[in-house]
């Protein structure tokens, strides 16, 4: 395929899911089979196109210098145009690759997850999770009542993500970003019959909105400063140089730094970084494919992707080896802090999905921290590997929950929470495929040495931090990595190892192929994707496989980042934290039988450092107070209604006064009745002269003529 | 030639007699006669003013002839009315014909 043809193809990548959304919403929503066929076909088309583009990108030498790029004028703004365009450079090609795979897998998985092919529930309602149906006296899972709607939503979601990835400017990136924000709201609140899901949806939407506002300000500032939003026009040497030397007037930052921080705040919201991390764990209220979609493949990755995209801006005025600029320090601190902060919370969570949610926050912190210290390649690498293994883990946890729900249906005891890990145990025998794939995903997340993808990407971040001397970041991330391994092993041990702790876990069963096949595919990537990024100087393995990720993605930047030297210390650290964490987790949790025995059930951690309560007290309560008490009670009912209560009676009083003192006596009596009376009186008194005798009339006429004649004579003739 | 004022005095006298007749006589036919006298007094005025004024134009004579025609028509209508009233009310006394009073 020629360069131009591939570039044309890029335009069409986001369209199939959008079309699927429209088709499902407008036409096929009555038919579940047709709806998922449409959605999956669309995902497949986008996947196919993405693979073709990726393959062609690989074949171009120096792809960073000649990306697939095209743009057309879109919105006129005075003398210039805002352009809409597509850009596939090495970075977006790599991102497109993992997005296409994970999205397709999640779409397929959703078919099984929502019990396609099962009967409709006995008393299921739209907006509530299906409760199961009875067939021949047996309880069986029932199909999701809003099956078609789900596929419509995730189709729109996929459209948002593809738009964001292929766009060549911040404006369309922001459009995709917001579409995903909307979809995450719709999908988290998919089971809107549950109050918790409703609240979580609102919380996610509001929290990300805070970040988005700052991001929009950043975009506006950038447009004001440069007159363009296109990456390729901003990331030129001159523009960046100007931006990095012009002061912004805020905190002594350069314009570039200030814009980068504003855009980064958007990422803090979208990628759930501290302090806007609170929405993500609650987002677990949505169906599991949504969790995978939001937390692995798309939305949170989009946040990190935006920072990676803006890296030239963030690092403007900085060069490899120099001390970090204030804005980079800010990013690094937020990332590193989030990484360790979320990891500590994850240790104390019992809900299988919540552990993963905090783990996601923590891993995103790794990437953000990596970007903060300038480890561009490592961040991209970890973003991609994380997307694969975290999607795998989320889908795996969904599979576990689904299996547990099967057990719950079997025993009929609905008081058992199928998501609580302490109700599980021994699932490895019941759900072998889920177990092995989850194990692979978990080991990748922990950074199990050499085999898994997570090891290579995490090691790269640690190595970069160590070699460039960012010891604080290095130590923080190493501790966070240790905790990651620990809580991952805790999760695996509690869920799959040992013996079943409840009857429900005993009766759990493996799921259909639509759910397990995506797990298998993703676990291939969770292992294999690490091999494309093995550092050149790594002992024994280095150089066997070329360090593709470094060569390829590094080409995105104007200057190819230098190859890191090898140092044994970060490698040792990686090995120790990964194996140590996994080992300790296994040693401790194989003996823990219930939540009471778990020493990490510290209420401080279990309650997420009371951040929800803190925000409740600091932001939400005052906001509610302002609206309910200040605005509603005082301003509206007191002040404004008070004014109205003064004006109302006052106007009424004035009205009655005018009526009593003017209208009734003057207008009605004097003018109205008076004129009638006067006319009546006049008529009555003039009546007698109407005698009917012609000669009397004539005499009167004569007299009148004489009088008028006399008057005329005196007045006109005599006076003349 | 007799001065103009004589004619005017004659006309005024004739007019006054007519007017008196109209106002004072009770018989409706007599009232009509009074009206005719007043009209003819005016005719004398018209002709006199013509004779002592611009003789070449015949305005005065023409007016007089028109007044004759109108007076003749009026008398015809008036007498018809009087006869009609007499047939209905059996009287032609003006004082008794007071149907128009309130």
Nearest CA of chain B to the CA of A696: how many Å? 8
CA–CA dist A149, A421 (Å, integer): 30
Nearest CA of chain B to the CA of A677: how many Å? 20
Nearest CA of chain A to the CA of B1: how many Å? 30
Average pLDDT over every residue of B55-75: 91
In degrees, rounded to 5, the angle at the alpha carbon of residue A611 between the alpha carbons of residues A609 and A614 is: 120
In degrees, rounded to 5, the angle at the alpha carbon of residue A118 between the alpha carbons of residues A117 and A121 is: 140
Nearest CA in chain B to A701: B23
Q: What is the pLDDT of residue A16?
A: 92
Q: Where are the domains of chain A?
A: 607-689, 691-720
Nearest CA of chain B to the CA of A704: how many Å? 15
**Best mean pLDDT range from A73-87, A415-429, A545-559, B31-45:** B31-45
Q: Is B100 on the interface with A (CB under 8 A)?
A: yes
Measured from the Cβ of residue A417, the count of other Cβ atoms closer than 10 Å reads 16
Q: What is the pLDDT of residue A417?
A: 82
Over 80: is that where the pLDDT of A720 sits? no
C-beta atoms of A695 and B97 within 8 A: no
Q: Which helix (H) or strand (E) holds A271?
A: none
CA–CA dist A4, A685 (Å, integer): 108
Q: What is the pLDDT of residue A525?
A: 87
Strands A68-77 and A80-88: antiparallel
CA dihedral A83, A86, A90, A92 (to 10 degrees): 100
A interface test, pick of B23, B31, B81, B97 with most A CB neighbours within 10 Å:
B23
Residue A503 banded pLDDT, cuts 50, 70, 90: confident
Average pLDDT over every residue of A451-468: 85
Q: How far is CA A61 from CA A53, A67, A166, A309, in A?
A: 14, 10, 20, 21
Over 70: is that where the pLDDT of A32 sits? yes
DSSP secondary structure code for residue A583 in this structure: H
b/e A84-108 (16+ beta carbons within 10 angstroms → b) = bbbbbbbbbbbbbbbbbbbbbbbbb
Chains A and B form CB pairs within 8 A to the count of: 30
- Residues of chain A with Cβ-Cβ distance to B99 below 8 Å are 692
> Max CA-CA distance within chain A?
149
Q: Is B19 on the interface with A (CB under 8 A)?
A: yes
Nearest CA in chain B to A688: B102
Question: What residues pair up with A545 in beta bridges, in sequence order?
Answer: A542
Residue A18 banded pLDDT, cuts 50, 70, 90: very high
Contact A375, A332 (CB under 8 A): no
Q: What is the pLDDT of residue A542?
A: 67
DSSP secondary structure code for residue B93 in this structure: B
Measured from the Cβ of residue A330, the count of other Cβ atoms closer than 10 Å reads 19
CA–CA dist A478, A654 (Å, integer): 80
In the block, which residue shows the tokens 């504003």?
A262
Backbone angles phi, psi at A497, to 5 degrees: -90, 180
Q: What is the pLDDT of residue A543?
A: 66
Nearest CA of chain A to the CA of B49: how many Å? 22
Q: What is the pLDDT of residue A425?
A: 79
Q: What is the pLDDT of residues A352-367, one digit of tens each?
A: 888 888 898 999 999 9
Over 80: is that where the pLDDT of A597 sits? no
CA–CA dist A536, A51 (Å, integer): 27
Backbone angles phi, psi at A276, to 5 degrees: -105, 30
C-beta atoms of B101 and A690 within 8 A: yes
Q: Tell me the Cα Rg of chain B.
A: 17
Pick A426 or A443 by higher pLDDT. Answer: A443
Q: What is the pLDDT of residue B75?
A: 92
Over 70: is that where the pLDDT of A146 sits? yes
Average pLDDT over every residue of A535-558: 74
In chain B, what percentage of residues exceed pLDDT 70?
99
C-beta atoms of A691 and B94 within 8 A: no
Q: What is the pLDDT of residue A49?
A: 92
Average pLDDT of the residues of chain B: 90
CA–CA dist A515, A115 (Å, integer): 10
Nearest CA of chain A to the CA of B77: how many Å? 17
b/e A435-474 (16+ beta carbons within 10 angstroms → b) = bbbbbbbbbbbbbbeeebbbbbbbbbbbbbbbbbebeebb
Average pLDDT over every residue of A274-300: 80
Nearest CA of chain A to the CA of B93: how many Å? 10
Q: Architecture of B4-91 per CATH?
A: Orthogonal Bundle (1.10)
DSSP secondary structure code for residue A667 in this structure: I
Q: Pick A692's closest partner by Cβ from B23, B24, B101.
A: B101
In degrees, rounded to 5, the angle at the alpha carbon of residue A642 between the alpha carbons of residues A636 and A648 is: 120
Over 90: is that where the pLDDT of A346 sits? no
Average pLDDT over every residue of A664-686: 91
Side-chain-facing half-sphere of A265: CA atoms under 13 Å? 17
Q: What is the pLDDT of residue A159?
A: 92
Per the rule left: phi > 0, alpha: psi between -120 and 50, beta: everything else, A559 is beta
- Residues of chain A with Cβ-Cβ distance to B19 below 8 Å are 702
Q: Is B94 on the interface with A (CB under 8 A)?
A: yes
Read off the tokens for B52. Answer: 């002592």
The 3-class secondary structure across A546-578, one letter per residue, is CCHHHHHHHCCCCCCCCCCCCCHHHHHHHHHHH
Interface residue ranges in chain A relative to chain B, Cβ cutoff 8 Å: 687, 690-695, 698-699, 702
Q: What is the pLDDT of residues A38-97, one digit of tens each?
A: 999 999 999 999 999 988 888 887 777 778 888 888 888 777 788 888 888 888 888 999
Q: Is B23 on the interface with A (CB under 8 A)?
A: yes
Nearest CA in chain B to A694: B94
Q: What is the pLDDT of residue A688?
A: 83
Measured from the Cβ of residue A12, the count of other Cβ atoms closer than 10 Å reads 14
Q: Is B97 on the interface with A (CB under 8 A)?
A: yes
Q: What is the pLDDT of residue A686?
A: 87
Average pLDDT over every residue of A585-604: 77
Q: Which distant-in-sequence residues (6+ apart) come within 8 Å of B75 by Cβ?
A: B32, B36
Look at A251-255, A595-599, A673-677 and tell me which has the smallest mean pLDDT. Answer: A595-599
C-beta atoms of B94 and A699 within 8 A: no
Q: What is the pLDDT of residue B102?
A: 65
CA–CA dist A105, A395 (Å, integer): 9
Q: What is the pLDDT of residue A681?
A: 94
Over 80: is that where the pLDDT of A565 sits? no
Contact A445, A453 (CB under 8 A): no
Q: What is the pLDDT of residues A574-585, one digit of tens each?
A: 888 888 888 888
Contact A522, A389 (CB under 8 A): yes
- Residues of chain B with Cβ-Cβ distance to A694 below 8 Å are 31, 94, 97
C-beta atoms of B94 and A694 within 8 A: yes
Nearest CA in chain A to B97: A693
C-beta atoms of B98 and A692 within 8 A: yes
Average pLDDT of the residues of chain A: 85
Nearest CA of chain B to the CA of A685: how many Å? 12
C-beta atoms of B95 and A693 within 8 A: yes
B interface test, pick of A682, A685, A688, A692 with most B CB neighbours within 10 Å:
A692
């Amino acid at each position: 395929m020629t360069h131009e043809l591939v570039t044309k193809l890029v335009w069409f990548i986001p369209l199939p899911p959008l079309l699927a959304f429209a088709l499902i919403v407008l036409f096929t929503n009555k038919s579940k089979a047709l709806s998922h066929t449409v959605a999956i076909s669309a995902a497949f088309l986008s996947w196919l196109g993405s693979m073709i583009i990726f393959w062609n990108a690989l074949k171009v030498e120096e792809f960073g210098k000649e990306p697939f790029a095209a743009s057309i004028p879109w919105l006129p703004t005075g003398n210039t145009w805002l352009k809409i365009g597509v850009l596939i450079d090495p970075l977006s090609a790599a991102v497109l690759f993992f997005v296409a795979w994970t999205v397709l897998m999640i779409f397929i998985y959703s078919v099984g997850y929502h019990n396609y092919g099962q009967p409709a529930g006995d008393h299921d309602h739209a907006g509530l999770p299906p409760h199961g149906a009875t067939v021949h006296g047996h309880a069986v899972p029932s199909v999701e009542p809003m099956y078609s709607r789900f596929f419509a939503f995730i189709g729109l979601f996929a459209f948002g993500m593809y738009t964001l990835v292929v766009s060549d400017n911040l404006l369309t990136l922001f459009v995709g970003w917001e579409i995903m924000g909307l979809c995450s709201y719709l999908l988290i609140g998919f089971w809107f019959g549950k109050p918790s899901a409703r609240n979580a949806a609102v919380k996610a939407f509001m929290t990300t909105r805070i970040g988005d506002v700052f991001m929009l300000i950043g975009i506006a500032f950038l447009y004001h400063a440069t007159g363009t939003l296109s990456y390729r026009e901003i990331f030129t040497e001159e523009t960046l140089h100007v931006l990095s030397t012009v002061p912004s007037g805020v905190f002594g930052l350069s314009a570039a730094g200030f814009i980068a921080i504003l855009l980064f705040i958007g990422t803090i919201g979208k990628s759930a970084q501290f302090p806007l991390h609170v929405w993500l764990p609650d987002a677990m209220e949505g169906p599991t494919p949504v969790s995978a979609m939001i937390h692995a493949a798309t939305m949170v990755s989009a946040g990190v992707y935006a920072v990676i995209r803006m890296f030239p801006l963030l690092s403007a005025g900085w060069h490899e080896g120099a001390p970090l600029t204030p804005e980079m320090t800010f990013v690094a601190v937020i990332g590193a802090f989030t990484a360790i902060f979320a990891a500590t919370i994850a240790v104390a969570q019992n809900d299988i999905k919540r552990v993963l949610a905090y783990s996601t926050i923590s891993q995103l912190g790794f990437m953000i921290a990596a970007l903060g210290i300038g480890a561009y390649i490592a961040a991209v690498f970890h973003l991609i590997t994380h997307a694969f293994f975290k999607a795998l883990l989320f889908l795996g946890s969904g599979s576990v929950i689904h299996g547990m729900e099967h057990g719950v249906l079997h025993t009929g005891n609905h008081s058992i929470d199928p998501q609580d890990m302490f109700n599980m145990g021994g699932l490895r025998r019941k759900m072998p495929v889920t177990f092995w794939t989850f194990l692979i995903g978990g080991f990748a997340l922990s950074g199990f040495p050499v085999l898994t993808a997570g090891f290579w990407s995490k090691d790269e971040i640690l190595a970069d931090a160590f070699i460039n001397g960012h010891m604080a970041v290095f130590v923080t991330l190493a501790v966070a990595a240790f905790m990651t391994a620990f809580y991952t092993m805790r999760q695996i041990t509690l869920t799959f190892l040992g013996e079943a702790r409840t009857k429900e876990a005993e009766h759990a069963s493996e799921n259909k192929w639509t759910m397990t096949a995506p797990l298998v595919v993703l676990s291939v990537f969770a292992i294999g994707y690490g091999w494309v990024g093995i550092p050149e100087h790594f002992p024994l393995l280095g150089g066997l496989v070329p360090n593709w990720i470094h060569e390829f993605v590094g080409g995105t930047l104007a200057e190819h980042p230098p190859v890191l030297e090898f140092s044994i210390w970060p490698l040792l650290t990686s090995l120790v934290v990964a194996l140590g964490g996994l080992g300790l987790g296994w040693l401790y949790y194989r003996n823990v039988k219930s939540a009471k025995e778990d020493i990490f059930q510290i209420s401080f951690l279990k309650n997420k450092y009371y951040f929800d309560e803190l925000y409740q007290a600091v932001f939400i309560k005052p906001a509610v107070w302002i609206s309910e008490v200040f605005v509603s009670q005082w301003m509206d009912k007191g002040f404004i209604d008070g004014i109205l209560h003064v004006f109302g009676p006052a106007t009424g009083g004035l009205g009655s006064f005018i009526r009593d003192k003017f209208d009734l006596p003057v207008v009605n009596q004097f003018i109205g009745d008076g004129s009638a009376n006067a006319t009546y009186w006049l008529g009555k008194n003039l009546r007698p002269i109407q005698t009917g005798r012609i000669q009397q009339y004539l005499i009167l006429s004569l007299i009148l003529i004489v009088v008028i004649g006399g008057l005329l004579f005196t007045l006109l003739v005599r006076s003349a | 030639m007799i001065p103009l004022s004589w004619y005017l005095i004659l006309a005024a006298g004739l007019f006054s007699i007519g007017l008196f007749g109209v106002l004072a006589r009770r018989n409706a036919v007599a009232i009509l006669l009074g009206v005719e006298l007043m009209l003819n007094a005016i005719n004398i005025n018209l002709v006199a003013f013509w004779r002592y004024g611009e003789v070449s134009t015949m305005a005065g004579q023409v007016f007089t002839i028109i007044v004759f025609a109108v007076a003749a028509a009026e008398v015809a209508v008036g007498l018809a009315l009087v006869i009609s009233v007499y047939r209905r009310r059996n009287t032609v006394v003006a004082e008794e014909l007071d149907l128009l009073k309130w």
